[in-house]
Structure 1
């Protein structure tokens, strides 16, 4: 019997609900190129009516998917929320157990310690390879109670102990690759499919701006220093620079607690808060922008991860102004396909913005062309087929 099915499961929102869904989708396209049939069992997301086929199954871009509804369940009780987080995946496990025929591997995206241990036992019993796809190392302050509460301890135990039991991994950064040096790893940054329409057919989403347009797209949360970015932009505008800052995913009320929120309002023609836009239109916003801006603190969380926004901006041909975290340094050539800010200081951000505003239009156009060309080599899934072979063809069922 040929075992050529792979189950990809975890706390993502398939098919288009979050950045994690985009990651697993493009990783699965590599696996399809290698001859495997991938089935998604997604903890969250929404089943779209247009994806439903005559057999009653849902397919997105040729991949069948099942929603387990392990996440996104409204719950006000904090204790129950913590328990659900720590033990998420119970419904997915039931679905997996009913779909084990011809399964070669199970790939678990950012699994908890509980989910990993359950999969280790299941895979051992059925001679299935277990692979974990790790993209985050959450900070203790992201959990209720902070560093001194059980959720943070369990997260550290998961990353430092449980995940080391898994022999094969897909990792998003060299930081994680170094930490898990004893396992068999494939290092894959956030990937895209350059042949998708959204990277080639762009919509007219904004009118032309007589100056330099810079964009930030996403939900900043605690990772992205949007308030500092706004401080830098406001400083430049106060000094008369012809600059427009377009912010996707953020509304006026989202930044009402920022110290600079009133100044943002005063520059409403130059600082445009667009709120949420359809995910399929984000590349069009990148395309009509001269640069994107992304600032993150240099801490463990941001060194272990890798910004999806960076890869997407590059694929849309929009050079990125960014500081040095994760593996960014390996992908940015200053003045060619972006600008690498040497540190996280407001002074350096302002200095770099001042420099790009002075660039001739032909230089910016050349940088945008360079960015797209390099993105095809750096962030298209087809460039990572050999890297994926490192783990998927090992038939490593030891677990």
Structure 2
């Protein structure tokens, strides 16, 4: 069978991310690639890992295809500071460009995901020389406090240069949120807004568990909180509700016990909170499916307005309603009392108030919310829904 990258009509998605799993960026690219395959495009994802060679992605469905391979752009485990600095500031993107040069045919488009300024500069230069349109898939607008070292540190300056200089000079932008969509349309660029997507149709859907009246309300937080998610606020709200004599159980997936204690300022993890640490992706989704609600609290910062939480669509796709305050475009997909409950703000008191509302819901109310959550995911977050818009967008973008 002819390899995808030997065809005359293939699309390259490139960047120093892990693929097909490993981080939120992995899942973002996975969704975009599967959408394009569903519309008939042949996609090669050149990720940042060391190996493998060209490998088909079996989850891709439709007349197109997705294959992936590793470029080795990400420093290997145990790499020293000098090696990391050389890759980040000198050779970032060089391996990917050499691979593009080695292909017998040029891609119709290059979709650039992340990489910051050095990577973006090298890829834009290659695309300019080869008359290939480059499209930036933009999912963040970093604030200084989001990155180690702050405002004058190299990581922030690199991200800022990419955002302000390189992305506006691409042929087009795929934006994860309306905030980013509006921003890049201000440069006169063609822009398509696509939220984080996944194979919602292929997931198991609604859990068999049907709670009895009087059962504890089971919550789940799943993810890496970083500096975005207010896990300590969630834990403290659960503690406060349980101290008042109610029954709420929270399972925290991702952070370790030590990390949760650090977020709590050294306080012990309270009763009613189970910290499960890192789990394989399928086990994460099983925990989400078994919960009555997933919980997501974020402060209304610029960074959170620009991004869009991947875990939100994943929760709905697993049939689990969401308790969240409204940041980014969540208000378009979360109707209070339908797909979940809207928290009035990101405070402990605001979440306590919302948890009391959850406790008053009947079993039937919760079952209706589960069905509505699943339905919303199939309508908005399944990768097939965005397939035609993405391929039409590529057709409209020229060098």
TM-score (norm 1): 0.89
1:393 alignment partner, SS class: helix
**Equivalent of 1:185, from 175, 191, 194?**
191
- Give the direction of change, closer, same or farther, for the CA distance of 1:122–1:263 in structure 2 (3 Å limit): closer
Greater CA drift, 344-353 or 84-93: 84-93
Contact 2:206-2:319 within 8 A present in 1 as well: no
- Return the offset for 1:381: 1.1
2:390 aligned with 1:388, yes or no? Answer: yes
Structure 2 spans left out of the alignment, 5+ residues: 1-5, 61-65
- Return the offset for 1:26: 1.6
CA distance in structure 2 between the partners assigned to 1:82 and 1:241 by the alignment = 52
- Return the offset for 1:78: 4.8
Taking the TM superposition and a 5 Å limit, the aligned residue runs for 1:304-343 are: 304-343=306-345
**Equivalent of 1:126, from 130, 139, 148?**
130
Per the alignment, residue 161 of structure 2 pairs with 157
CA distance in structure 1 between the partners assigned to 2:108 and 2:336 by the alignment = 43
Q: Could you report, residue by residue, the CA deviation over 1:184-215 in whole angstroms, capped at 9, with x for unpaired residues?
A: 1111101011233x4349699xxx99221010
- Return the offset for 1:221: 1.4
CA distance in structure 2 between the partners assigned to 1:351 and 1:80 by the alignment = 50
- Return the offset for 1:219: 1.4
Contact 2:138-2:176 within 8 A present in 1 as well: yes
RMSD: 2.6
TM-score (norm 2): 0.89
- Give the direction of change, closer, same or farther, for the CA distance of 1:186–1:199 in structure 2 (3 Å limit): farther
- Return the offset for 1:37: 0.7
CA distance in structure 2 between the partners assigned to 1:277 and 1:127 by the alignment = 44
- Return the offset for 1:44: 2.3
CA distance in structure 2 between the partners assigned to 1:341 and 1:232 by the alignment = 12
CA distance in structure 1 between the partners assigned to 2:170 and 2:290 by the alignment = 43
Structure 1 spans left out of the alignment, 5+ residues: 48-55
1:250 alignment partner, SS class: coil
- Return the offset for 1:240: 1.1
- Return the offset for 1:151: 3.4
**Equivalent of 1:353, from 352, 355, 376?**
355
- Give the direction of change, closer, same or farther, for the CA distance of 1:73–1:345 in structure 2 (3 Å limit): same
CA distance in structure 1 between the partners assigned to 2:143 and 2:50 by the alignment = 25
Greater CA drift, 301-310 or 339-348: 339-348
- Give the direction of change, closer, same or farther, for the CA distance of 1:211–1:260 in structure 2 (3 Å limit): farther
2:255 aligned with 1:250, yes or no? Answer: yes
CA distance in structure 1 between the partners assigned to 2:239 and 2:120 by the alignment = 46
- Return the offset for 1:395: 4.6
Contact 2:46-2:96 within 8 A present in 1 as well: yes
- Give the direction of change, closer, same or farther, for the CA distance of 1:260–1:161 in structure 2 (3 Å limit): closer
Contact 2:261-2:268 within 8 A present in 1 as well: no
Per the alignment, residue 24 of structure 1 pairs with 29
Per the alignment, residue 118 of structure 2 pairs with 114
- Give the direction of change, closer, same or farther, for the CA distance of 1:100–1:337 in structure 2 (3 Å limit): farther
Q: Could you report, residue by residue, the CA deviation over 1:134-153 in whole angstroms, capped at 9, with x for unpaired residues?
A: 11122213434311234323
1:180 alignment partner, SS class: helix
- Give the direction of change, closer, same or farther, for the CA distance of 1:65–1:355 in structure 2 (3 Å limit): same
Contact 1:209-1:244 within 8 A present in 2 as well: no
